[in-house]
Amino acid sequence: MLKKIKKLLLLGIKILSSLVAIVFLLLISDTEYINSSLVVPPTDIAPVHSFNKSEDSLRYDFLLERFGENKVIPEDFKLQALVALSYYPVLKETPIEFVLTDADASLTSSINPATLIFPWMKKTYVIYIDTLKTIGFTSPTLLKNLPYNAQIGVLGHELAHTVSYLDKSAIELAWSGILYVSSEQYVVNFENETEKRTIQYGLGYQLLSWSEFQYNIKLQEGKGAYYFAPEKIKTLMGKYLFYQKQ
Ligand SMILES: [Zn+2]
């Protein structure tokens, strides 16, 4: 009996290590990532203090044609997502799916795991939008409960994550995922860099609107270090000439 269990255990270990080796080989075979020098903000950034939903709806068709390629977006947030996407021309052809979920994770930006592992599949990025908060005091931060301008801000933050994935190989992305779930300091740096990138790409006012609305709630959640306080966002915006022109 013991011998049988030992044999089965050894077989299990062999199968598991073979699987890990296969996944590793697949991950290092990835060549679908772009040169870092191509992941730069556009040169003609025109920040907007506050977007107006009815004004934006008049240019919906233009936005959809220009920035809607390879994007799957739920109807309720389509306009907001397209406005945010218009600040990231580098994502113009990138496949991105915005998915409604009740995972209790606000918004998260990730990659379809199959398209990450199999190098012959085109990478598809996924932005999960939480629709249900189980902790009562955080429910105002749900995308559907935010003001329009702040919705664009948080979607811009998620797209800034996606931008940072473009020049990473599959193995680097997998490693980043492991660090994200195992190191608090990594998460802080990762989120702070994303906040900076959102400002750098021209959505500073929208990020500010989001921050003014949700920063205190994030502090209560113990996530204050991940995101920037309104004052910090204003200071960083001051470094860019295009915000001063407004
Ligand atoms: Zn984030």
| Ligand 1 centroid, distance to 72 Cα (angstroms) | 20
| Ligand 1 centroid, distance to 191 Cα (angstroms) | 5
**C-alpha angle 157/224/151, rounded to 5°?**
30
Strand segments, DSSP code E, in 146-240 are none
Q: How far apart are CA 104 and CA 206, in angstroms?
A: 23
| Ligand 1 centroid, distance to 27 Cα (angstroms) | 24
Residue 110, strand partner residues: 126
Q: How far apart are CA 83 and CA 73, in angstroms?
A: 12
| Ligand 1 centroid, distance to 76 Cα (angstroms) | 21
| Ligand 1 centroid, distance to 93 Cα (angstroms) | 22
| Ligand 1 centroid, distance to 1 Cα (angstroms) | 51
Confidence of residue 106 (pLDDT cuts 50, 70, 90): low
The H-or-E segment that residue 109 falls in is: strand 107-111
| Ligand 1 centroid, distance to 162 Cα (angstroms) | 10
pTM of the model: 0.91
88 DSSP assignment: -
Phi, psi values for residue 19, rounded to 5°: -60, -45
* Extents of the domains making up the chain: 34-92+135-244
| Ligand 1 centroid, distance to 122 Cα (angstroms) | 23
| Ligand 1 centroid, distance to 178 Cα (angstroms) | 16
| Ligand 1 centroid, distance to 193 Cα (angstroms) | 9
Which of 1-5, 26-30, 73-77 ranks highest by mean pLDDT? Answer: 73-77
Residue 126, strand partner residues: 97, 110
Residue 3, strand partner residues: none
Closest listed residue to residue 203, CA positions, set 243, 244, 144, 145: 243
Average pLDDT of the chain to the nearest whole number: 91
Q: How far apart are CA 73 and CA 16, in angstroms?
A: 37
Confidence of residue 102 (pLDDT cuts 50, 70, 90): confident
Confidence of residue 76 (pLDDT cuts 50, 70, 90): very high
| Ligand 1 centroid, distance to 144 Cα (angstroms) | 17
| Ligand 1 centroid, distance to 157 Cα (angstroms) | 6
| Ligand 1 centroid, distance to 14 Cα (angstroms) | 38
Task: Write out pLDDT tens, residues 7-51.
Answer: 999 999 999 999 999 988 988 888 889 888 888 999 899 999 999
| Ligand 1 centroid, distance to 66 Cα (angstroms) | 25
Other Cβ atoms less than 10 A from the Cβ of 178: the count is 10
Cβ distance 73 to 63 under 8 Å?
no
